[in-house]
Chain A
Amino acid sequence: MIELTQITKKYGSFTAVDAIDLFVPKGELFGFLGPNGAGKTTTLRMIAGILRPTAGTVKVAGYDLARDAIAAKARLGFIPDRPFIYEKLTGMEFLRFVAGLYSQDGARVEHRGRELLALFDLEEWRDELVESYSHGMRQKLIISSAFVHRPDVIVVDEPMVGLDPKAAKILKDLFREYTRRGHTIMMSTHTLEVAETLCDRIGIIQGGTMRACGSMDDLRRNAERGDEGLEEIFLRLTGENAARGLVEVLDA
């Protein structure tokens, strides 16, 4: 459902994403991990059609994003990491507007919108302007908007940021059920526990290149560590050492 071929993104001389190949099949929840600035968000925004790749192709549900952008985007839902939305629309109006962008309206959208708002405890806020929503409520509304038009593929950037534990649990269940029904989700996260328990496969990106990709067992096999958790594997692959130099830094 998502197919990346040699996808590259350069900003001047800086290469943010360097020739990534990836295939995420139907019904899979793919986790995308990497340290800050590794190229996760850039990759996801290229899949969402917001950024244009410098080289390579992106296919969503079989449609080439460069050649058939409208058809590809019609099958996609995107949840960004920064929830900026129209402050002067109510929650329900925003959902209607998003559905409208995907040429959907009527009773089905109304019903779906209400259900999604109820799921995330936003039903009482449906007629309130978004400007009065908290950060977490905005995030819930954006997540709802990605589901309102029933996309085949959902691309999510840091979905758990700002969510309360209950909403985080709901979202995890929603993602599981959604992929069980044959849809595809590609998600970036820094919450390794979420990636470990939720994702069918995990890709670890660093410096714009894919360092490792596969199921947890594949990653363990590749790292030659039979019993390690994702955190150790992640740190080993990305060369991160959180504690090193801390004392020197604090003394500086």
Chain B
Amino acid sequence: MPNDTRASLPAGPDPSLVERYRLLSGSHGTVRAGGAYTPAGGRLVAPAKRRGVSVRHLLGPKWRTARARSAQVEKGRGARFAVMGLIGLCFWAFAFGVLYKVLTYFRGVQEIGPLLAGKLLGLLLLSFVSILLLSNVITSLSSFFLARDLDLLVSAPVDWFAIYSAKLFETTLHSSWMVVLLAIPMLSAYGVAYDGGIGFPFIAIAAFLPFLVIPSVIGSAITLVLVNIFPARRTRDILSVITVLAGAGVVILFRLMRPEKLVRPEGFRSLVEFISVLRGPTSPALPSEWLQRTLMGWLTGHFDVLPLYLLWTTAAALVVLGALLHRSLYAIGFTKAQESAQQSVKSSGKQSLLAHLLTPLGIMRRELVLKDIRVFFRDTTQWSQLILLAVLVVVYVVNIKFLPLTGDGITFFIVNLIPFLNLGLAGFVLASIAARFLFPGVSLEGRSWWLLRSSPMSMRELLWSKFWVGTLPLLVLALTIVVVTNALLQVTPFMFAVSIGSITMLTFAIAGLAIGFGTLYPRFETENAAQIPTSFGGLMFMMTAVMVIGGVIFLEARPVYSYLSSRLYGSADSAFNAREMITGFGLATLLCLMATFVPLRLAERRLEALER
């Protein structure tokens, strides 16, 4: 019977097979002392000796995934990385250059110079600690409680300490890489400006490692406690709000410290008081202070090993305490985090009104916009960021309000220049908001991609819908900020018009960049929307946005300067001014138009080619 496979198929359960199943399940057979047993087939099968699973083994899949991802062949990947690398290098060069210039100036100031440099480093590191702590709290929730590999790890006979170590390592890595990237040009500038020598990089690395571990352990512990205290499932929501409130608190605290006092020594009663403020530690019990003392000690030739010792011992002690806490609370917390909660949503009058208002968009766009709005306001991890946004805006406006725009040396020129330069700040605030709210737009569609892709909706439609949903609120916010701050500054109608025009163009550009970069560097698999802006693509977006803002200011600076000069001295040639103004503002408009449309066009192409 050629090609007949039927003969080899058993007609019913094979008796010998049934017997072997029994043996393997331990219900029958000869079991010897020591755990070995002889199945019916006569072969001796010794159960594998239980060995502890190493942290390296647990992290292996992550490492291999990252390696496989980097080896993936994809069209245009090389070009994307080249652009990314170039933007990154430009940013590093810019950060290094600015800081190096500042530090060189400080170095030339007798006595106070090193104190100012140390104070500046302390403040920068303090902001790093805050960022690291917040980032670790958010990341540890995902890595310790929501990650998809946890079911496998928790159900396997893996030692609790191995899970803790692997997840802590993962949390530290995910939350810290951005700070490390920012720290490289910063510490390089300090090392070069103060001739740190060949030993400085080693000291910097040795001191920076425990500096990263400390907030990671504390952040993970905070999350662990919260997951145990709050009702299951709500933990994530509560955590988001707490994290954002903490972030807001840090921003306000930083504002209350009034760092601007340091650059206005005349505000102090005497030089002695000023120096004593500079000499005094910003926060003696914080790791940022220890790191600052280690680094500045090395750079100024007064190296003291105590702060480095404090960093390492604190990190080690915290890891031990964190591990003990993990052993006591993790099992309960993990169980709680798996439970789901029912949440009813009845359609409200507000929703019907919104649906009615959006009717002119057409059914498809209206439903897409409504869906985005509903998902946004029902996801605490997303809307809670609005609190931080509100704080950012308030701090920004308050800063403008308290600017010392009267007194000696404050000229008409400065008063009019400040609103212009403030465009840059307002642009930066908008870029931060866009990174948080617009950038993740396409990534968040990842898991439902099958639905959008199989529906009769074009990718252009999807992108533009995302663009307008994000841009309109952003534009309202941008105009409010600029109008309020300009009113507070009592600027001239010319500067008012320049500000309004520029911020409108910048808003469109920033929104285009955010949607574009968010599509070009998507994070489809992420569990937490708050993590998307901290991805590499998010960083690229922020850098590009800063460059575009800088470019617009640079292009408009000359015509604005000429105009203000002509107003002040009445000597400039008005015909020349008009030509200069048209060129400057024309190029700025072109830059903004390119920043709006080019990323969206590239994003559209990428979405068309995307296969998931």
Q: Is B14 an interface residue (CB 8 A)?
A: yes
- CB nearest neighbor in B for A77: B454
Q: Give the residues in chain B near A80, CB-CB below 8 Å.
A: 450
Stretch at the interface among B2-10, B223-231, B275-283: B2-10
Chain B residues close to A by CB (< 8 Å): 3, 5-6, 8-10, 14, 16-17, 20-21, 24, 39, 41, 43, 45, 73, 340-347, 362-364, 366-368, 370-371, 374-375, 378-379, 447-458, 609, 611-612
Q: Is A194 an interface residue (CB 8 A)?
A: no
Cβ B343 vs Cβ A89 within 8 A: no
Shortest beta-carbon distance from B529 to chain A in Å:
11
Shortest beta-carbon distance from B397 to chain A in Å:
32
Chain A contributes a number of interface residues (CB within 8 A of B) equal to: 51
Q: A192-223, CB under 8 A of B: which get 1 and which 0?
A: 00000000000000000000000000000000
C-alpha spacing A143/B50, complex, angstroms? 46
Cβ A100 vs Cβ B363 within 8 A: yes
Taking a contact as CB atoms closer than 8 A, the residue among B6, B21, B368, B378 that contacts A236 in the complex is: B6
C-alpha spacing A70/B347, complex, angstroms? 31
C-alpha spacing A250/B545, complex, angstroms? 59
Q: Give the residues in chain A near B342, CB-CB below 8 Å.
A: 128-129, 132
Considering the complex of A and B, which 6 residue pairs feature the smallest CB-CB distances, nearest first? A100-B367, A84-B447, A101-B455, A88-B378, A73-B456, A74-B456
Cβ A236 vs Cβ B455 within 8 A: no
Q: Is A226 an interface residue (CB 8 A)?
A: no
Q: A79-93, CB under 8 A of B: which get 1 and which 0?
A: 010001110111001
Q: Give the residues in chain B near A177, CB-CB below 8 Å.
A: none
Q: How many A-B residue pairs have CB under 8 A?
A: 133
Chain A residues close to B by CB (< 8 Å): 12, 45, 48-52, 69-74, 76, 78, 80, 84-86, 88-90, 93, 96-105, 127-129, 131-132, 145, 232, 235-236, 239, 241-244, 246-247, 250-251
C-alpha spacing A145/B450, complex, angstroms? 13
Q: Give the residues in chain B near A88, CB-CB below 8 Å.
A: 374-375, 378-379
Taking a contact as CB atoms closer than 8 A, the residue among A12, A70, A97, A242 that contacts B458 in the complex is: A70
Q: Give the residues in chain B near A127, CB-CB below 8 Å.
A: 344-347
Q: Give the residues in chain A near B347, CB-CB below 8 Å.
A: 127
- Known contacts A243-B9, A251-B45; is-contact A73 B363 (Cβ 8 Å): no
Taking a contact as CB atoms closer than 8 A, the residue among A52, A101, A131 that contacts B457 in the complex is: A101
- CB nearest neighbor in B for A132: B342
- Known contacts A85-B448, A86-B375, A235-B9; is-contact A71 B363 (Cβ 8 Å): no
Taking a contact as CB atoms closer than 8 A, the residue among A132, A145, A241, A247 that contacts B5 in the complex is: A241
Cβ B456 vs Cβ A247 within 8 A: no
Cβ B455 vs Cβ A73 within 8 A: yes
Q: Give the residues in chain B near A48, CB-CB below 8 Å.
A: 450, 453-454
C-alpha spacing A74/B457, complex, angstroms? 9
Q: Give the residues in chain A near B450, CB-CB below 8 Å.
A: 45, 48, 50, 78, 80, 84
Taking a contact as CB atoms closer than 8 A, the residue among A78, A103, A131 that contacts B362 in the complex is: A103
Cβ B20 vs Cβ A250 within 8 A: yes
Taking a contact as CB atoms closer than 8 A, the residue among A51, A89, A131 that contacts B371 in the complex is: A89
Q: Give the residues in chain A near B344, CB-CB below 8 Å.
A: 127-128
Q: Give the residues in chain A near B10, CB-CB below 8 Å.
A: 243
C-alpha spacing A247/B451, complex, angstroms? 44
